[in-house]
Structure 1
Amino acid sequence: MSNLGSFIWSIADQLRGPYRPNQYGNVILPLTILRRLDCILEPDRETMRNLAAKYDNPNRLKVEVKKATGRPFYNTSNYSFANLLQDADGLADNLTDYVDRFSPDVDVFEYFDFKKEILALEKAELLREVVTSFKAVDLHPDVVSNADMGDAFEYIIRKFNEAANETSGDHYTPRDAIRLLVDLLFAEKDADLTEDGIIRTLYDPTAGTGGMLSLAEEHLLEQNPNAKLSLYGQEYNGQSYAICKSDLLAKGHDATNIAFGNTLTDDAFAGRHFDFCMSNPPYGVEWKQYAKAVKKEREEAGPYGRFAPGLPSTSDGQMLFLLHLTHKMRAPEDGGGRVGIVMNGSPLFNGAAESGPSNIRKWLLEHDLVEAIVALPTNMFFNTGIATYIWILDNTKHSDRQGLVQLIDGTSFWTKMRKNLGSKGREISDTDRAKVVKLYADFTAADPEFSKVLRNDEFGYWTITVERPMVDGDGNQVLDRKGNPKPDPKRRDTENVPFTYGGSTAGVSGKAEVIQDYFDAEVKPHVPDAWVDQSKTKTGYEIPFNRHFYKYIPPRPLAEIDADLEKQVAKILELLREVEG
């Protein structure tokens, strides 16, 4: 993935023996971050030290450093990689002093417990050797671009997790998938984004190492170098948080915009709303341990809370992040917001009518928030080959998209990789990405083989309960006190009736008529004594993506199948003869 990453990882060979392979990252990652920041600070080292001598207050010092250097962070130590090795006996103490004297918002080394690693390296007599190796690597942004640095971090994390037998996909998303998500996220706003000097905000509640935030910023600056995109994120994995924060610090962003913690239980940006939101939340991960806090928040927040529409099963929390992002969109009266989120297939259809997931889909569709859903190729991610989808949400849809959802089948737009990376054997090339974005842009004029546009109500249905009468031993119906047939629970059945049955376009308002038409045509001719218990009717929503793109493939001719069978039988007989011989 990265020559730089490979080179940095090769330094880990020096740790062999005292460190196990699954421990290498505890040393390599913080030292890579430290060297990156060291290279950035080096040109203004004396300026920072002079200002530190003049201003004792950290906040005032930060302001003055920003004025003098343009950087939002500083380090006031007398040590750096330039002189650390000059005092061989004091190397551990001096390196610790260097780490301690960063500005307070540079808390990234705490999440690696790096000072403990410094002592461990000294005890193993490896500290000088490792520091010498990192000193030889120039990681200044003029030498190593932000994109290359991001690739290097991701390479190191992947290697670290392979050694620890962990899943790298918990930490980062393939850049080709991010680029497609970013293109789709910004697509409807591209015209606005070219205005000179615009300021926009972007938020990722599952920021990982910051790949999504970085690529989104790159996309905007390519179109408009004078634009400013303020980046916000939250991450609960300590090492990923540290990398994300240090990466944004290196680019001159405000480090306080990156928060550590669990977004679901402690929203670090409560009350804040953003122009753009994006996320690749964990799939199929239990949130049982957070259920008490989430349910309590839902009860206390009432109808306007972030989880008000419903709760998914505790076995999979990705729809909680979906709800969280809709809650973070800038209000329509303030310009509106857009969301891009990558999820697996279950949020499209899991849960029966009026279950938590179904109610979430109902809320999204009835509020006309879902703009497009794109099916990605399989084998796109590093730790899974499952089907994944990009959802694009917008609370200020263009007039021609209002009341509609575009489904795009992008599963065939991929290029085979020369070498697999874990489960990832396919990538979305620039050409593939352009095809998908064009399908999105063409909207109703897009190729119907790959794009379908449906009304919101076409995803709705009613689950009706069909009752049959109970009969006594003589074959007579058993009646209740009011003289009505008593239903037999053993003969009870349910049917799903689409809102659109019989060509109806009335949506929810057509409930009584559509259900009756369905019952008369589909049920009554087969069971004349049945009836619908209206009190048990439930409303549900699902997005049967694959059904809309299903292509019938006729079975092979019998003669062809017989010929294949004969060939296989002949092979088996030949093998048996060899065994008998």
Structure 2
Amino acid sequence: MSQQNLSSFIWSVADLLRGDYKQSEYGRVILPFTVLRRLDCVLEPTKAATLKEKEKREAAGLNPEPFLLKKSGQHFYNTSPLDMKTLMGDQDNIAENMFSYIEAFSPAVRDIFECFDFHTQVQRLDKANLLYLVAEKFTQIDLHPEIVTNEQMGHVFEELIRKFAELSNETAGEHFTPREVIRLMVNLLFIEDDDALTKPGIVRSLYDPTAGTGGMLSVAEDHLSGQNPDARLVMYGQELNGESYAICKADMLIKGQDISNIIHGNTLSEDGLPAKQFDYMLSNPPFGVEWKKIQKEIKKEHVQEGYNGRFGPGLPRVSDGSLLFLMHLISKMRPTQDGGSRFGIVLNGSPLFTGNAGSGESEIRRYVLENDLLEAIIGLPTDMFYNTGISTYVWIVTNRKPKHRKGKVQLIDASNMWQKMRKSLGSKRKELSPEHIDKITRLFGDAKEVYVEPETGKQLSSRAAQAAGSVATPISRIFKNTDFGYQTITVERPERDDKGEIVKETRGKRKGQPKPDSKLRDSEEVPLSEDVEAYFQREVVPHVPDAWIDHDKTKVGYEIPFNRHFYVFKPPRDLDAIDAELKGVTDRIVQMIGELSQ
């Protein structure tokens, strides 16, 4: 059965629910039943042997659990003689038998169904006389991994979650990230470590603090196993949404991962893996979501722990918590002497420039850039995500930059690298083709300035673009970290009395000096690369000779004006051409008026 047919089949269960369930509630039934059927199929080949092993070990007075795990061939088991097909043999007692079957799973699996609140749904379905019909529907499909691969199952989960998110008007981007965006991020994450990752028996850790349904973890594992079948990626994650956590945990369980590494809860207010650091990390935190509900815990950590905690550099405004996730990931990086880390995070445009010098956002950017952690930012096309059309950016952050990248940041404009989808999925109308992913990956790997010739689409180096003399469009640019820094200076001018005389301070450390007039106060932003005094003498003094700088108010700020660095000036058309066009339009209007008067 193809993925599309499988998704359609599972979605057809909604026809049974119509009337008794609201559309926004369909997922509460369909998602856990899909997981249950998947686990049921996975255990089917070893079910009889597992039950026999349980009987044998209990008769010997031994704890059967380790033996059952080994016999099942999975990281979970079920000790009930029932399965989904045998449940169909007793229609009158299906609810009671369903509860018994669920309770016979190993504890990690029972936790999954508790997060789905599955017992409540079973009772509700039974009361509506729908439980047997729904369960029977799912017994008609075979979800064994030999029939439906892990990757296919991941796509099924993704499509179902997307549909339910649309029906429920969920927050944009809250549950999952498009697969091609994840593939790009994984490419960028691993590209500089290709040699190391091909060594036999290599083990690396990967963490996603906003794991959703586990898409990022799954794609990263597929990528690494494709490069090196002997490599092992140990995966960790935390997820706030109960249903997404349950699906992620089920997916990891089937893939043989240790699901104790998947944590349920709010990553920002309660880090579920506090002592852990990782080789690689990926994250797509929710865009523009406020953190008012956890403000007390975050501020407490910021004040009490400072740089020993996660939020030492500063706190962003409460309306957008994106940069909190960035700092959380930085706190999870292995020390450079232990091999270091690299991570990719998807952010909206706000973290690039929001906040003046001295603000929380600016201080966070300052920390990242002054510690040489930012490797690259890739601007993606709009309309790439299912529930939002906004511009998004992938930040690549590492504490083990290769020598040629030290002290530098690469910006890549991939906003025009997309193809139209055959069918829109919510707000998602565009996608990255494999060719686009390869092109962006090469641009990142080369770490050079690259321009595109508009007429031919040919890529040019910065030197070739200058030599050609054409208006070439930049798509990859290299900057020094300090290029994004500036100092905000406060320019004061003296207060004057009615006679125009300068008023002097009468007290304090400035006694006898000109008193500043707050109405005339102004500020200037001076690039870090410039001497403040030289800038002041050149740009300010010629216009206001009586001005001075209040050095006590000088603040250092950082912003990354991404779009400005890719702007290409297009000169206006020749005036003669515009005049000719206007004359042509005027002549047609005169002609039309003449025809009307005839």
- Check whether TM > 0.5: yes
Structure 2: distance between partners of 1:288 and 1:353: 23
1:21 corresponds to 2:23? yes
Quick check: 1:58–1:103 contact (8 Å CA) kept in 2?
no
The whole-number CA distance in structure 1 between the counterparts of 2:590 and 2:91 is 76
Q: C-alpha displacement at 1:333, in angstroms?
A: 1.5
Aligned CA distance change for structure 1 residues 8 and 347 (closer, same or farther; 3 Å): same
Q: Indicate the SS of the match to 1:450.
A: strand
Is 1:411 aligned with 2:428? no
Residue 167 to residue 570, structure 1, CA distance change in 2 (3 Å): farther
Aligned counterpart, 1:226: 230
Partner residue, 2:564: 547
Q: Give, in angstroms, the shift of residue 475 of structure 1.
A: 0.8
Is 1:451 the equivalent of 2:476?
yes
1:65–1:72 CA contact under 8 A, matched in 2: no
Query: 1:343 is paired with a residue of what secondary structure?
Result: strand
**1:119 and 1:186, CA in 2 relative to 1: closer, same or farther beyond 3 A?**
same
Aligned to 1:465: 490
Q: 1:575 to 1:419 in 2, by over 3 A?
A: farther
Answer whether contact 1:62 1:72 (CA < 8 A) is retained.
no
Q: In structure 1, what is the equivalent of residue 336 of structure 2?
A: 332
The 1:40–1:368 alpha-carbon spacing in structure 2 relative to 1, beyond 3 Å, is same
2:115 pairs with 1:111: yes
Deviation at 1:155, TM superposition (A): 1.1
* Mapped contact 1:209–1:243 kept (Cα < 8 A): yes
Query: Which residue of 536, 541, 558 maps to 1:524?
Result: 541
Map of 1:118-517 to 2, 5 A cutoff? 118-167=122-171, 169-444=173-448, 446=450, 447-448=461-462, 449-481=474-506, 482-501=511-530, 514-517=531-534
Residues 248-271 of structure 1 show CA distances to partners (whole Å, capped at 9, x for unaligned) of 111111111111000001100001
Please tell me the residue identity of whatever aligns with 2:30: I
Rounded Cα–Cα distance in structure 2 between residues aligned with 1:168 and 1:362: 28
Q: 1: distance between equivalents of 2:384 and 2:168?
A: 22
Superimposed CA distance per residue, residues 303-328 of structure 1 (whole angstroms, 9 cap, x where no aligned partner): 22110111100000000000000001
Write out per-residue CA displacement over residues 319-353 of structure 1, whole angstroms, 9 at most, x where no aligned residue. 00000000011111111111110001111111110
**For residues 150 and 59 of structure 1, what CA distance do their matches in structure 2 show?**
37
Distance in 2 of aligned mates of 1:126 and 1:568: 69
**Equivalent position amino acid for 2:217 in 1:** L
Residue deviations 1:439-496, cap 9 Å, x none? 0111136545211111111111100000011110001111123321111000000000
Write out aligned runs for 1:27-38 (5 A): 27-38=29-40
| Structure-2 residue corresponding to 1:80 | 83
Structure 2: stretches of 5+ with no match in the other structure: 451-460, 463-473
Q: 1:100 — aligned with what?
A: 103
Deviates most, 265-274 or 44-53? 44-53
Cα separation, 2, equivalents of 1:575 and 1:170: 56
The unaligned stretches of length 5 or more in structure 1 are 502-513
Alpha carbons of 1:403 and 1:87: their partners in 2 closer, same or farther (altered >3 Å)? same
Q: 1:5 aligns with which of 7, 14, 27?
A: 7
| Residue 150 of structure 1: how far off its partner (Å) | 1.1
Percent identity for Structure 1 against Structure 2: 53
Find out whether 1:89 has 2:82 as its counterpart: no
CA distance in 2, matches of 1:15, 1:339: 42
Partner SS state of residue 89, structure 1: helix
- How far the C-alpha of 1:393 sits from its partner, in A, is 0.8
Mean CA deviation greater in 545-554 or 227-236: 545-554
- What is the aligned residue count? 569
1:414 Cα offset (Å): 1.0
Shift of 1:564: 6.7
- Write the deviation string for residues 278-311 of structure 1: whole angstroms up to 9, x where unpaired: 1000111110111100111122223221101111
Structure 1 residues 126, 579: closer, same or farther in 2, change over 3 A? farther
Paired residue type of 2:329:
L
Which segment drifts farther, 235-244 or 62-71? Answer: 62-71
TM-score, L = length of structure 2: 0.91
Contact preservation (8 Å) 1:157, 1:168? no
**Cα deviation, residue 164, structure 1:** 2.4
Q: Is contact 1:408–1:450 with CA below 8 Å preserved after alignment?
A: yes
Native 8 Å contact 2:287 2:320 kept in 1: yes
Shift in CA distance, 58/224, structure 1 to aligned 2, threshold 3 Å: farther
TM-score computed with the length of structure 1 as normaliser? 0.93
Paired residues of 1:462 and 1:499 also in contact (CA < 8 A) = yes
The match for 1:39 is 41
Q: Aligned with 1:278: secondary structure?
A: strand
How far does residue 81 in structure 1 lie from its aligned partner after superposition?
1.5
AA in 1 matched with 2:561: P
Cα displacement (A) at 1:572 = 9.7
Asked if 1 retains the 8 angstrom alpha-carbon contact of 2:316 and 2:360, the reply is yes
Offset, 1:372: 0.8
The root-mean-square deviation of aligned C-alpha atoms, in Å, is: 2.4
Partner amino acid, structure 2, of 1:303: Y
Output the amino acid matched with 1:480.
Answer: E
Q: Distance in 2 between matches of 1:404 and 1:90?
A: 67
The one-letter code sitting in structure 1 at the alignment partner of 2:74 is: R
Instruction: Tell me the SS of whatever aligns to 2:421.
Output: strand
CA distance in 1, matches of 2:254, 2:590: 69
Q: Structure 2: which amino acid aligns with 1:487?
A: P
User: 1:2, 1:148 within 8 Å by CA — same for their partners in 2?
Assistant: no
Cα deviations across residues 127-175 of structure 1 (Å, max 9, x unaligned)? 2211111001111111111111111111111222222233462111111
Q: Is the 8 A contact 2:368 2:374 kept in 1?
A: yes
